[in-house]
Amino acid sequence: MDQKEIIVLGGGIGGLAAANIIASRLKGRGKVTLVERKQYFQFPPSYPWLMIGKRKPDQVQKDLKALKEKGINVINEDITAIDPEKKVVKTTTSELSGDFVIIALGAQYNSGLIPGFSDYAHHIYDLDSAVEFGNLVSNFTHGTIAIGISRLPFKCPAAPYEVAFLLDDYFTKKGLRSNIKLEFYTPEPTPVPSVGPEIAAKVLDLLKARGINYHSRLKLKEINKNELLFENGESMGYDLLFSVPPHEAPIPVQKAGLTDSSGWIPVDVRNMETKFPQVFAIGDVTSIPTPNGFVPFLSKAGVFAHSQAEVVADNVVGSITGKTKIKEWDGKGGCFLETGNGKSAFMEGEFLVAPKPVMEFKEPGKIWHMQKVLFEKYWMRHWF
């Protein structure tokens, strides 16, 4: 039997999991190629810890070369074009043709959408930026830190709130908190609206208890030195600015005709297949409506990329080996919310059920913080 060619685009959480699972189960009956422009897998859930010096860069990244021992061919090149109809992918120097294509390219950041963003804003949405912002934080002694969300959607909906809580804890422990104002702005109506109003109210209470001023329904228009301008005419002063950068689908995805009016890739939510047969999309690059949800579309989060990768990998392997049972994605997921002082909350739910999502909130505690630490260790060891 001829080997089937499986091309996985993107070496983040979803792509890494999918490539590993398929390679381990096919055991020579298929060739798995992972295309990722970066040499290293980097673990975004740990970036908030990196920001406050609780992690070093080498603790939250792994060289993708290690995947060769697992039978995965890694190509560290930029993707220049995707032909989903022919299942052909072009990179800087290569052209790949597959029987199955899994698109796990996540989101790219377009700071140019907001005047002044590149000049004045900082973030932790990639490793280098997290290190850079952490250096600024370590030297900050007094003034106002504005923390916020520039545009929707964005990945890891809890992350900017973790930034706020961890900065509060960091400066409290340094004895500087009384010198520093923390101002949180967002276009969202409530904190983490995808988990519903009851949990949002709990998060808002946590913010208030920590003296973090929360400003909702503010869409960032422009950034000047020491001043934020919002579309409703309001403004906010700052001395140091953290802002989630505007997200969009990667350019090759946009040019491939894979996206819809949402700007992201629509999929069959049961199996993550796109409108092109045997071409799948998982994770942040997808657009999944939640008609019964608290928000119109499913949040972009690593937990979903992971579980979707498991479904796609299982079905790709089944298609190749002749397994008839099809696995379907269940829309379940959860995420940690680090609150500082060695504690974390945990939010989880079923996001696709009717008549509305079923959600649960675990109050901040040391056990949930330890669970996140263990989850980090699992990820950095299991797939390499």
- Domain 112-246 -> CATH class: alpha beta
Domain boundaries, the chain: 4-107+249-328, 112-246
And the tokens for 231?
A: 């579309």
Residue given tokens 């069959």 in the structure block:
268
Same fold, 4-107+249-328 and 112-246: yes
3-state secondary structure string across 127-150: HHHHHHHHHHHHCCCCEEEEEEEC
List, in sequence order, every residue forming a beta bridge with 88; answer none if it has no partner: 83, 97
List, in sequence order, every residue forming a beta bridge with 101; answer none if it has no partner: 7, 279
Q: Quick one: pLDDT at residue 27?
A: 85
Distance CA 284, CA 302 (A): 8
And the tokens for 34?
A: 């992972």
pTM of model > 0.95: yes
Ordered per-residue pLDDT tens for the chain, 384 residues: 578 999 999 999 999 999 999 999 998 889 999 999 999 999 999 999 999 999 999 999 999 999 999 999 999 999 999 999 999 999 999 999 999 999 999 999 999 999 999 999 999 999 999 999 999 999 999 999 999 999 999 999 999 999 999 999 999 999 999 999 999 999 999 999 999 999 999 999 999 999 999 999 999 999 999 999 999 999 999 999 999 999 999 999 999 999 999 999 999 999 999 999 999 999 999 999 998 999 999 999 999 999 999 999 999 999 999 987 789 999 999 999 999 999 999 999 999 999 999 999 999 999 999 999 999 999 999 999
Residue given tokens 């890739």 in the structure block:
265
The H or E element that residue 97 is part of is strand 95-97
User: What DSSP character marks residue 117?
Assistant: H
Contact 360, 348 (CB under 8 A): yes
The CATH code of the domain at 4-107+249-328 is 3.50.50.60
Strand order in the sheet with 180-185: 212-215, 180-185, 143-149, 240-244
Alpha carbon of 158 to those of 41, 162, 229, 303, 335: distances in Å? 21, 6, 24, 12, 8
DSSP state string for 250-309: -HHHHHTT---TTSSEE-BTTTTB-SSTTEEE-GGGEE-B-TTSSSSB--B-HHHHHHHH
Q: Quick one: pLDDT at residue 1?
A: 54
User: What DSSP character marks residue 27?
Assistant: T
Distance CA 89, CA 195 (A): 37
